[in-house]
Amino acid sequence: MDPWVTWVTVHTGVERAVHGATILEQDASTIKAARTWDYALDAGKSVGVFGSISAYPPRAVPGFMVPGSFAPSSATFPRSLEPLQELNRTQVQLHHRNRRGLSVPGILSQGIDLLKLGVRPSSCAAVAAQLARELVQPHQRWRRVALQPLINLDVFEALYRRTRPDYATWHTNHAAHYMHHYWRAMDDSKFPSRSSEEERRKYGGAVEHGYRICDLLLGRFMALIDDDTILVVASSMGQQPFVSGAYPEGKIVARFKDIASVLRLMRARGVTELVPVMLPQWNVRLPDADERARVKALWENAGFVGKVSRSAFKAVETGDILTVTPVCLAQPDPDARYFFPGAPDARPEGYPIHELFALDAPSPKQGMHHPTGLLMLWGKGIRAGVEIADTTTLDIAPTLLSLLGIPVPDIMTGRVLSEAWDGGRSRRSVQQAPPELARAVAENLLRLRQIAPGSRVLAERP
């Protein structure tokens, strides 16, 4: 249950074995299914895509495209939005601590660019207030994460009002971030190890703060749309406490200090791109297949020797990209060492953990994904108080296409959730695409099927 897989399932309406997503921001050419915005464009509609996973690279569209924060570059359409994407990607890099913050002149210049794009003065004031708060209470840095969606929605609102796209998406990950890091601080009843008084004092309000921000965002979206627009709120899955016998205190994340230094000791040749993605992962682009296989083997053969001995990394190959993930620790291990057998320039005595990694996350992993997510529809014509059972993430894309009046292709195996607006239950409530077209696409895809995570669906109206 990885969000970079489940969100692609939501956007494509097909199972993982069909769309082919395995890692975050993998090569676009390796995603083998159209997204909802592709169908909208093919139907002659305008689109606004903002922050959605698998939206990279952006392209010229009637509307706008801003890929997710983990994109390998700051490219957007139109290019005038690139200062915002630079801010989004900078936050990811600062989270990895592989980039320094801007200088004061740089901050002022960036602030002017963002104001031109529609960022509200109130959001700028919230940023200033947060920086002042951190001077007095440094542990309050966790609140920064919730500022990013406010700034992004400011810009989205300005774009939406100016272009009025037929179909628009907008994504935020801040609530999941808080649950991953601070669930135990909020509620330790499910954990074998209780939260300390200090942890509760510092971080006990983080998860609830994330949801208050969600409420604020939702209210702004409800005020933004008109009577001809339906608001759809979706999560590709849910969250639950992370409880594991292998990690009784939670997973301790080991963050690369400098992944390039490890690639140098491997003498990795032809690396064209290094992109930080979901902490502590990195995407390493190596176009040469033989060199990629050699480097992949070195990552997989690397060892961790400390209180336990085990493999040190996971390396997943997707297209030209190796996604490298350091294996997390179950407990502090300051004397642990890393070894890289076969790496040409590796020291035989290995590397102390503190030389390669920082263990500076404010808390161990405390939340994990749950298969049940949430889907809500709101707007004129949506039936109030209706709960629709027996749904999956495969039902979201057909439902969206139906609301747009676009034929649902046979490759989508989910159903249109028409109970939300007309009270009827139907496998399909709109015209299907020609079967021969759907079969032609499907014949080139994998046949193995994986059941999609389920979701509860609530329908409401004003």
Indicate if the pLDDT at residue 430 is higher than 70: no
3-state DSSP call for residue 422? coil
Cβ contacts of residue 352 below 8 Å, gap of 6+? 335, 336, 337
pLDDT in tens, 85-137: 999 998 877 655 555 555 556 566 777 888 899 999 999 999 989 989 999 99
Tokens of 425: 């239950």
Strands 47-50 and 167-170: parallel
Which of these, 457, 462, 393, 380, lies nearest to 425 by C-alpha position?
457
How far, in Å, CA of 172 to CA of 146, rounded?
A: 9
Domain 3-242+369-460 falls under CATH 3.40.720 = yes
Tokens of 80: 């005038």
pLDDT in tens, 437-446: 333 333 333 2
Residue ranges of the chain that CATH labels 3.40.720: 3-242+369-460
> Residues 205-224: what's their mean pLDDT?
97
Q: Which residue has the higher pLDDT, 139 or 429?
A: 139
How far, in Å, CA of 65 to CA of 145, rounded?
A: 22
> Residues 2-15: what's their mean pLDDT?
93
Strands 321-326 and 282-285: antiparallel
> Residues 143-153: what's their mean pLDDT?
95
User: How much is the pLDDT for 92?
Assistant: 79
Q: What is the mean pLDDT of the chain?
A: 88
- What's the pTM? 0.84
Q: What percent of the chain has pLDDT over 70?
A: 87
How far, in Å, CA of 31 to CA of 47, rounded?
A: 20
Tokens of 91: 């936050």
3-state helix, strand, coil in the chain (%, to 5): 40, 20, 40
How far, in Å, CA of 345 to CA of 292, rounded?
A: 17
Long-range contacts of 426-433 (CB under 8 A, 24+ apart): 428/398, 429/402, 430/401, 430/402, 430/405, 430/406, 431/407, 432/407, 432/408, 433/407, 433/408, 433/409
User: How much is the pLDDT for 439?
Assistant: 38
How far, in Å, CA of 266 to CA of 258, rounded?
A: 14
Max distance between CA atoms of the chain, in angstroms, equals 70
pLDDT band at 242 (very low <50, low <70, confident <90, very high): very high
pLDDT band at 278 (very low <50, low <70, confident <90, very high): confident
Tokens of 236: 């590709």
User: How much is the pLDDT for 100?
Assistant: 55
